[in-house]
Structure 1
């Protein structure tokens, strides 16, 4: 496997990667960074958590001209939270640059007039934001996007799902003909293909397979809702699981409200994240969740996608999502940084086919059932079909392997989660301190220049 040094990166980029303990490139980074560095337009199809953010940020910074005070790269993301994640990653790299680099984030729910006023004085070198706000600033003739030579569309499938492809199309139309374009997406829906053909001439298309779609540190438990009151079942599951932090998914905003209201009535402290929240309420709720004011968070897929909440020990799917990709995104919120996680999925008897389709992705479910208020091993829903195949007794070695796989949270897991979060927070504080120092040095240089 190659190392980041093999990509002939600027020294400060290598320092930035070492600071966040990025030692080896992921498969998507190993394949795409050389292509992007060579100026090729690419379509990268890869799952969440594959490292695609740095796959495009690293070559963008490596070719960035610090002395050129014009827009050089524009990056769109379909949600504020995704844009914030990309912005934080970009700021972390920029904080190691020996020369000041100007990066700006533009998302809805922020002061547009203030952004316009600032743009009249100077342009950012890298623009990161949501399609609607970026297009607003372009239409206001404040953001001079026509100087950019690089355009990144992150989470293109989600951009399409949320109805932002028209805005992205209009942004793309403002760029020069010689444009390097990068599109990243977990899937390539058919409706996205006309857009790709319109702006991308013979792009390199790379589909990066993942060894496992679900982290091996996650236990996937499957619980049937047959004959049970669903809200009562959800309450028993979240109460008895004693999570550090539980993320509870529902398919609709209405169902989120129903579940959150029911759990609150039972005396639990519950936060909810759905499309109905104003930007201010959303930011306040996220701050409260990060401060652990809530132990339970109920959310829809689109509202929660892109939100990075540290320390999620349990994910509960109160219903199967219509899209398998959403299931992957949901479950992938737990079991991070080598910590164990539990994902509990509720299903109805008529949803056998959907469960089977998920199993084809390599997901292994452990059947569970509530018995006397306790979640215990349940019956395999396919036990009748498998009965003939399992008549032969297992060898002692196989019995041991099966028992080993039936893992649960070990004692002290909450302490390990807290330690992991504290380590992450210390790292973020160090990055913030460096950024403050960089900003202060820049301010001092500007003050001296005006004397």
Structure 2
């Protein structure tokens, strides 16, 4: 088993790794570190929470010199993620000499103050959102002519949020021989022209999870049955003793509705969404990190841009419009091999959305709340399957039934009943065969 001590990092990094209790690299770190050391352009596709940040930080920081010039440039689409990377960087820089610095540049902060800071000296590491980075580069405040490594983190989110033009401008100003690293949970087709334009024979690395939902996470599914979901959420988070609950909704309005309801019930709740000011969001994040809140309601911004430690429960108050976000949401719990619980609430009429998630290879455990307890529930598709089977049966036997009724001979009802029972038996037999085939296929795939 590989250890970080085998990578020949400098003493400062090794000491910092010991202090943050990093001993063994994750699969993405093991795959990427050697490529970064070889100055290869790389495109890395790996899920949120897989350890991507340290995969590029550790080897890139190991190559830094004490020259007062930007050597490592990191662009990330959200302020929250920028601060997260900055804090990870500071934790490693802790044991470096004083002349090594990382600066953060994000929208919503004092640009004039940032300019004055850059006039005093340039940092070795610059981290920021694309818009603010480009503003400072364009105005010749941030000097990137000697950058050796450029990282674009969460590239798919960069594209979705409309920041790709800024990243394009930044990349165009970088030296030709710089190393470029693109990290993303997905690589959309729309991103390919950008990658082809700026990357030189990039090596692609794709780290696939062995299972989409880790075995240490219980993945529950609950129907609202038309009930008020806010009341259901209140029941769920006050049953037992959850350590930290992250509740996801699709819109700022729904987040506010859930937040206000839970507060009205006497709970201390934080909320995080794009409608808050940068200062409010940063303060809320700091309070959550300091365990001042046990419940957090958020939009998907949090799923892609924030790493909240210790999440024991994730609740999907709404099924995300982009099903990839389902993976990112559930991935907030069960981190570091700790146990976790993910709960998805769906409304009548949303069964097709659950079908789509299940087609991604995700399995749910049906649950319900009864008498103040969480209990096993009937499988979601059992009634649907029974109804579909009955519809097929009626179509197939309708002629027979009509014929028997028309004849009105003694025992005609028994004949109909017998025929229907036989049809049911055949349907069950076929279903059992299909289930066994699927189980065999699943076992075969698990051994590949």
- Band of TM-score, shorter chain: 0.7 to 0.9
Instruction: Give me the whole-angstrom Cα distance separating, in 2, the residues matched to 1:134 and 1:250.
Output: 30
TM-score (structure 2 length as normaliser): 0.81
Equivalenced residue count is: 391
Contact 1:274 1:304 (8 Å CA) reproduced = no
Cα distance in 2 for partners of 1:321, 1:127 equals: 33
Match of 1:206, SS?
A: strand
**Contact persistence 2:103–2:126 (CA under 8 A):** yes
Alpha-carbon offset, residue 137 of structure 1: 1.2
Task: Say whether 1:290 aligns with 2:289.
Answer: yes
Tell me the residue number matched to 1:414.
Answer: none
- Which whole-Å CA distance do the structure 2 matches of 1:114 and 1:194 have between them? 36
1:64/1:53 CA distance change after superposition, 3 Å: same
- RMSD value over aligned CA atoms? 2.3
After superposing the two structures, state which structure 1 stretch, 180-189 or 246-255, moved more: 246-255
1:25 aligned residue:
25
Deviation at 1:242, TM superposition (A): 4.3
| Distance in 2 of aligned mates of 1:257 and 1:42 | 40
In the alignment, which residue of structure 1 is the partner of 2:57?
57
Matches within 5 A, 1:273-288: 273-288=272-287
Moved over 4 A (4+): 384-387, 389-392
Task: Give the 3-state SS of the residue equivalent to 1:260 in structure 2.
Answer: helix
Shift of 1:222: 0.5
Alignment of 1:119-198 (within 5 A): 119-198=118-197
Q: Which has the larger radius of gyration?
A: 2
Give 1:261 deviation, angstroms: 2.2
User: 1:275 touches 1:303 (CA, 8 Å); kept in 2?
Assistant: no
CA contact (8 A) 2:226 2:347 kept: no
Q: Which runs of 5 or more structure 1 residues have no equivalent in the other structure? A: 393-451
The answer to whether 1:343 aligns with 2:342 is yes
Residues 9-158 of structure 1 mapped to structure 2, 5 A cutoff:
9-66=9-66, 68-98=67-97, 100-158=99-157
Q: Is the 8 A contact 2:269 2:296 kept in 1?
A: yes
Q: Secondary structure at the match of 2:58?
A: helix
Question: Per the alignment, do residues 294 and 54 of structure 1 end up closer, same or farther by CA in structure 2, a change over 3 Å counting?
Answer: closer
Q: Which runs of 5+ in 2 are unaligned?
A: 387-426, 434-448
- TM-score w.r.t. the length of structure 1 is 0.81
CA contact (8 A) 1:44 1:184 kept: yes
Q: Is the 8 A contact 1:45 1:187 kept in 2?
A: yes
Moved more, 211-220 or 26-35: 211-220
CA distance in 2, matches of 1:224, 1:50: 31
Q: CA deviation at 1:135?
A: 1.2
Aligned partner of 2:267 in structure 1 is 268
Q: Which stretch of the first structure deviates more once superposed, 8-17 or 202-211?
A: 8-17
Q: What does 1:326-341 align with in structure 2 at a 5 Å threshold? A: 326-341=325-340
Give SS of 1:108's match: coil
Residue matched to 2:203:
204
> 3-state DSSP class of the match of 2:353?
helix
